[in-house]
Amino acid sequence: MKQSQRAAYNSFFYLIFAPALLLILFLTIYPISSIVYDSFFRYDFISNTREFIGLQNYSRIIGEELFQRSFTNTLIFTFVASTLEVILGVFFAFMLQRKFRGKRISSLIIIFPMIISTMVICAVWQTFFHYEIGLFNFILGKLGLSPVGWLTDQHVALFSVILVDIWQWTPFAFLIIQAGMSSIPSDIFEAAQIDGANRRQISFRITLPILSSQILLVLMLRTIDTFRLFDKVYALTGGGPANATQTLSTFIYREGFSFFNFGRASSASVLTLFVVAFLALFYVRSLLKEDN
């Protein structure tokens, strides 16, 4: 291609790319910069008063026990939920890799939780978790065990919320892994079988390494999503008991929409954004490495 042709090609490329770029800049960069800007102010949305206080919002909220608790809870939730969802997703994908009667209906059943509204799921699980009339404590009672405060015991509540998230989002991991699996050419497996590889060797030495980019992708998507956990906490525990299920999102919501302290809410959002961006960057780099 001649240089003039390449220049024309590049100009055309930038021209068609420009509207999308401008839109992305407007919808992403503008809100983020406005949040960063607000985070340096004591900003009461109702009285519309702003007072520049530098980094005070940051230093205050980082020093607050509630913020620290919310941050720790978010990290625990993100790590446990996303890891287990991916492990279970891989497990189900392997289980359904084989041909068997009822495979289609099994896939449908596995996918089902993902298509229900989160609020409906929370309402159902809330009845399962009920201390006195809930299904789980009923089963424990039948087994002669003491009831558990699934949503009321501060040491258990976060894991109950994790359980609901795993139930709802494992299907998502399953779907992506299964799609990856079905794209692997069958002759690879046939060749491995001819070479004498057993099922375990095929799974661990062939299938899983081939699926590593899909697994990484699901892990990234679930990590980012679980890090923003809000709806389940809002519907199941309201952040309690004793802040045992407060997360960064509920902290931001509380500051922003219960107290209308937009300065503090903005600084908490910026901190959250940093962590999510760092996680995303880590995964994207790993994915790009895989691609190379």
* 222: phi then psi, degrees, rounded to nearest 5: -70, -35
Q: Closest approach of Cβ 186 to another protein, in Å?
A: 52
CB-wise, 91 or 131, nearer to another protein? 131
Residues contacting residue 276 through CB under 8 Å, at least 6 positions apart: 224, 227, 228
Question: What element of type H or E holds 22?
Answer: helix 3-24
Angle between helical axes of 65-95 and 212-227 (0-180°, round to 10)? 150
Q: What is the smallest separation between the CB atom of 100 and another protein, expressed in angstroms?
A: 42
Nearer CB in complex with another protein: 159/189: 159
Binding residues for another protein, per CB under 8 A?
Answer: 45-48, 66, 130-132, 147, 149, 151-152, 154, 237-243, 254, 257-261
Of the two residues 33 and 258, which places its CB atom closer to another protein in the complex?
258
Please state the φ and ψ torsions of residue 57, each to the nearest 5 degrees: -60, -45
Of the pair 146, 198, the CB lying nearest another protein is at 146
Q: Please report how close the Cβ of residue 139 comes to another protein at its closest, in angstroms.
A: 17
For residue 146, what are the contacts with CB-CB under 8 A and spacing of at least 6?
Answer: 140
65 or 195: CB nearest another protein = 65
CB 154 within 8 A of CB 244: yes
Structure tokens, 33: 């910069």
Least distance (Å) between residue 165 CB and another protein: 19
Residue 205 DSSP label: I
Cβ-count burial of 52 within 10 angstroms (0-12 exposed, 13-18 middle, 19+ buried)?
Answer: exposed
In sequence order, which residues have a C-beta less than 8 Å from that of residue 103 and are 6 or more positions away? 96
Minimal distance, residue 171 CB to another protein, in Å: 28
C-beta closer to another protein: residue 141 or 238: 238
Q: How many CB atoms lie within 10 A of CB 233?
A: 25
- Nearest approach in angstroms of CB 37 to another protein is 18
> What's the DSSP call for residue 64?
-
Least distance from another protein to the Cβ atom of residue 250, Å? 11
**Cβ nearer to another protein, comparing 222 with 264:** 264
- Residue 223 CB partners (closer than 8 Å, separation 6+): 78, 82, 279, 283
Among left, alpha and beta (phi > 0; psi -120 to 50; other), residue 243 is left
